[in-house]
Amino acid sequence: MKQSLKTQLLDRYRITAGKGFRLKDHDPDDIAESIIDKQESQALLAAGVARLSELQELLYPHASWSVLCIFQAMDAAGKDGTIKHVMSGVNPQGVQVTSFKAPGPEELAHDFLWRVARRLPERGFIGIFNRSHYEEVLVVRVHEDMLRTQRLPPELVSKKIWEHRLEDIAAFERYLARQGTVVLKFFLNISPDEQKRRFTERLDDPNKNWKFSASDIAERAHWDAYMEAYEAAIAATATPHAPWFVVPANSKWHARLVVVEAMIEAIEALNLQPMGMQAPDRIRLEEARQKLAEEGA
C-alpha cells in the first residue's frame, strides 16, 4: 500500500493522546472510502498479509525488538477472525498468541499484571493478546462485584481504583516500550446492531452455534457501561509509544486491513536491516563449504 495512503488510513483511527477522545466520534461503519477503493481492499489485505510475513522474518533474527498486539472488543466484533487472517502468512514459530479468559485461582492469587507479564513476547517475537490486562478496567469495571474475587486488601479498594489501574497499565506499557516492546492496541469497534446481526447468524447457522455463549446476550445489556469503560481506558492509556487504534469493525475486511497495516507500519519504523554475516562468521561459512566439498559425492 502506498505510504501516504497508509499514513492517512492509520491516522484516521490512531489515538495517541486522551485529550478530547470520544468514542461517539468513531463510526463502526466507516470504511474510509475517500482513501481506499472498496474494490481494491481485498487485494491490499492480501498484500499486507504477505508483507507482514516478510517483516516478521526480519524481526526474528535480530532477537531484540518484540511486538505486542493487544485485541479488545465486544463479543462477535471479530477478534478471532482478525487474528487468524492477519497472521495467516506469518511463520507460527515467531508468534506467541494468548487468549485471556476469566482468571483462575492461581491467577487470582497474584496481582493482575502477573499473568500478562508471563505471556509477553520474547525478543524477536510477535505477541498477540486476545483480550488482555484491559479486561481489568472493562469487564471488572462493569461488574464491580468481580473485584471481590481478587482478594485485594479492603483498604486498597477505593473509588479511585479504576483511575489507579489505568495509571498502572499506562506505566507498565511505558516500561515495555522502554524495554524494546512495540505495543499496539486495537479496539475492534462494532455497533450494537451489527453485534445483534452476528449473534443471530450464530444461532441460525449450526456450524456457528459453537461460537455462541448465553453470557454474550447478558453482556450486551451492559453495552453503554462497556462503552464508557472503553472510552475511559483508551483516553487514559493512549500514548505515542503505545497507541490505540479504534478500528471500525462492522466491515470485517476493513478491520483486518487496518490491523495489518498498523502492524506493518510499526515494524517498518524499526528500520531493521537484513542480518547478513559478520566477517569472522563468513570465514567459517567458507570452511564449512570446503568441508562439505571434501566429503565428496
- Cβ at position 73, least distance to Mg ion in Å: 10
Q: Give whole-number Cα distances, 48 to 1, 76, 87, 90, in Å.
A: 8, 24, 10, 11
Residue, CB closest to ligand ATP: 135
- Cβ at position 25, least distance to ligand ATP in Å: 25
Contacts of 72 (CB under 8 A, 6+ apart): 79, 131, 132, 134, 135, 138, 185, 186, 187, 188, 230
Residue 171: strand, helix, or coil: helix
Query: Smaller CB distance to ligand ATP: residue 8 or 99?
Result: 99
Residue 24 binding target from ligand ATP, Mg ion, none, CB below 5 to 8 Å by type: none
Among 135, 173, 231, 261, binds ligand ATP (CB under 6 A): 135
Q: Are strands 126-130 and 181-189 parallel, antiparallel or unpaired?
A: unpaired
CB distance 244 to 238 below 8 Å = yes
Query: Applying CB under 6 A, does 100 fall inside the site for ligand ATP?
Result: yes
Among 6, 131, 141, 185, binds ligand ATP (CB under 6 A): 131
Query: Smaller CB distance to Mg ion: residue 75 or 135?
Result: 75
Angstrom distance (rounded) from CA 255 to CA 251? 6
Among 136, 194, 231, 261, binds ligand ATP (CB under 6 A): 136
Residue 102 binding target from Mg ion, ligand ATP, none, CB below 5 to 8 Å by type: ligand ATP
How many CA atoms, within 13 angstroms, populate the side-chain half-sphere of residue 61? 10
CB distance 162 to 141 below 8 Å = yes
Query: Smaller CB distance to ligand ATP: residue 46 or 146?
Result: 146
Residue 139 binding target from ligand ATP, Mg ion, none, CB below 5 to 8 Å by type: ligand ATP
Which chain residues interact with Mg ion by CB under 5 A? 75
